[in-house]
Chain A
Amino acid sequence: MIEVVDLYKSFKNHEVLRGVNLKVEEGQTLALIGGSGKGKSVLLKLIIGLTKPDRGKILINNQDISKLRGKLLKQLKERCGFVFQGGALFDSLTVFDNVAFPLREKTRMKESQTRDTVLAELARVGLSGAENKYPAEISGGMKKRVALARCLVMKPEIVLFDEPTTGLDPLIGKAIHKLIRDCQKSLHFTAIMVTHEIPAIFSLVDRVAMLYNGRIIASGTPAEIETSQDPVIHQFVHGELEGPISIQ
C-alpha cells in the first residue's frame, strides 16, 4: 500500500506540492491526472525516493521512505519500479543489455538464465527480435515497451509510470495501456500512472486522483471523476477551455 500524507515540495521559491494526501491500496492501479508542469512527475519521484520532500510522509507498506537512508532505502527501492517518460534507456547498451542490466547488477543469476528471462520479458512486451538494436534505432513506442520490460524483469511490487503513452499514436498508446493492464493482472503490482490520456485511461484503472494547485482535489473511481460536478474536475476531464482553470 502507498500512502502520501501532507506532502510539501518546493524548488527554489516555487512551491510545487502544497499538502498532498493520497492513498493507493495494494494491487490497485491509480491514474494521476492534472495540468502539465504541476508536480505529478515530482510526486512520483518523491514516492520512489529519487528526491526528498520538504515535509510530509510517504508510507510504502507503513515504512516512511522519506526517513529511510542507506541499506533500508535501497531495499525499499528494490521492490519498486519506475517507467520514465522518455524511457530513460541506457543509449550505449542494446535493447537486450538494457533489460538484462538490473538482473546482471542486482542478482547473481547465471548468464544463460538471464538470457532466457530477458527474452521472455521482451516477448511479453512484443519485442522479440529487437534485442540487438540500440535505443537510437527503435521507435518511441518500442522504447516505452523496452522500459516497461526493464522495469518488470525484476518483478516489482510497486510500479510508477510517468506518462507511458505520451507522444505515441492512438493505436500504439492503446496497445501500451493494454500491455500495462495485462502485466498488472499477471504480476499483481500496485501502480500509479501519470497520464493525460483522458478518458481512455478510465477504462483501465481502478481509481483516479486529480492534482491541482499542489493538492489532490479529488480521488475516486473513474466513473465518479468522469461525472464529477466540481467545476475544476469537469473542465479538465472534458477538456473545456472556459472554466476556473486558467490556461497559461
Chain B
Amino acid sequence: MNWILTPFKIIGNYAHTFIRELGRMVCFLATAFFLVAFPPYLLRRIVRQINFIGVKTTLVIVLTGSFTGMVLALQTYYALVKFGAETSLGPVVALSLIRELGPVISALMVTGRAGSALTAEIGIMRISEQIDALDAMALNPYKYLIIPNLLAGIISLPLLNAIFVVVGVWGGYAVGVGLTGVSSGTYFGGIRDFISAKDILEGLYKSLSFGMLITWISCYKGYFTGYGAEGVSKATTQAVVLSSVTILIWDYFMTSILLT
C-alpha cells in the first residue's frame, strides 16, 4: 500500500513547502511595504542603493542593449526582406525592445549583477550577526536593509530599461541604416508613426514590477539564508535562478493581461 501513497506524499510535501515559502515571502514583502510609511525614511541609503543597483549596472545595460538592438535589426531585416517589408525595420526593432526585450533583458542583467550581490551581502550580514546587531540596537533591519533595496529596485529598473531601449534602437539604426541600407528617415519615421504611449507604458509597468521582484526575492533569500558559507552560496544561487524564472513567467502573464 505504501508504494501507492509514496508519490502522493512526496507531491504533498513539495506543495506544502512551496505554499509555506510563498506565504513567508508575501509576509516579508507586506511587512516591508507596511514599514515604508513610517520614519525614519533613510533617503541617503535609498540613494546609495540606487547607485549600487542602477548606476553601477549602466555599463552592462549599454553593452547588452546595443548588441541586442544590432542583432535584432540584422535578424529582422532578413525576415522582412522576404516579404518586401524592410521599411518596417525601425518600428519592429523599437516595438520589440520597448514592449519585451528591454524590460526582460535589463531585468535579467540586474539580477545577475546586483541581485546576486544583494543576496550575498545580506546573507553574510545574517551569518555574521550584523542583522542581529541592528536589532539589538533597537533599529529595524527592514528599514536599513530591505526597504532601501526594494525602493531602489523599483526606481532603477525603469531607468535602466529606458537606457536599454534607447541604446538598442540606436544599435538597430547602426545596423539597419549602416549595413543593410534602410534609409534613416524610414527607420525613425516608422518608429514615430507606430509606437504609441500604450507600448511605452507596457514596458514601464513591466520594468517597475521586475524591479520589485528582483529585490524582493534577492533580499528575502539573503535575509533567511542558511548557515555558513554554503548557506550563503545556496541562497545566492536560489535568488538568481528564482528571480530569472519569475521574471520570464511574470512577463508572460503581464503581456497577456496588457495586450487584452
- Give the interface of A toward B (CB within 8 A): 45, 48, 50, 73-75, 77-78, 80-82, 84-86, 88-91, 101-102, 105-106, 154
Known A86-B128, A88-B128; contact A106-B138, beta-carbon cutoff 8 A: yes
* Count of chain B residues with a beta carbon within 8 Å of a chain A beta carbon: 13
Instruction: Note all chain A residues with C-beta closer than 8 A to B136.
Output: 48, 50, 77, 80-82, 84
Instruction: Note all chain B residues with C-beta closer than 8 A to A85.
Output: 129
Q: Are B132 and A84 in contact (CB under 8 A)?
A: yes
Closest to B42 in A: A105
Q: Taking each of B125, B130, B136, which has the highest tally of chain A beta carbons within 10 Å of its own beta carbon?
A: B136
Q: Are A88 and B137 in contact (CB under 8 A)?
A: no
| Nearest CB of B to A210, in Å | 25
- The 8 Å CB contact of A82, one of B125, B130, B133, is B133
- The 8 Å CB contact of B129, one of A75, A88, A106, is A88
Q: Are B133 and A84 in contact (CB under 8 A)?
A: yes
- Give the interface of B toward A (CB within 8 A): 40, 124-125, 128-130, 132-133, 135-139
Q: Are A88 and B130 in contact (CB under 8 A)?
A: yes
Given contacts A45-B132, A84-B133, A85-B129, 11 further A-B contacts (CB under 8 A): A48-B136, A50-B136, A75-B138, A82-B133, A84-B136, A86-B128, A88-B128, A101-B137, A102-B137, A105-B40, A106-B139
Q: Are B130 and A90 in contact (CB under 8 A)?
A: yes
- The 8 Å CB contact of A84, one of B124, B129, B139, is B129
| Nearest CB of A to B231, in Å | 16
Q: Are A77 and B133 in contact (CB under 8 A)?
A: no
- The 8 Å CB contact of A77, one of B125, B129, B137, is B137
Instruction: Note all chain B residues with C-beta closer than 8 A to A154.
Output: 137
Q: How far is the CA of A77 from the CA of B130 in the complex (A)?
A: 16
Closest to A71 in B: B138
Q: How far is the CA of A85 from the CA of B125 in the complex (A)?
A: 14
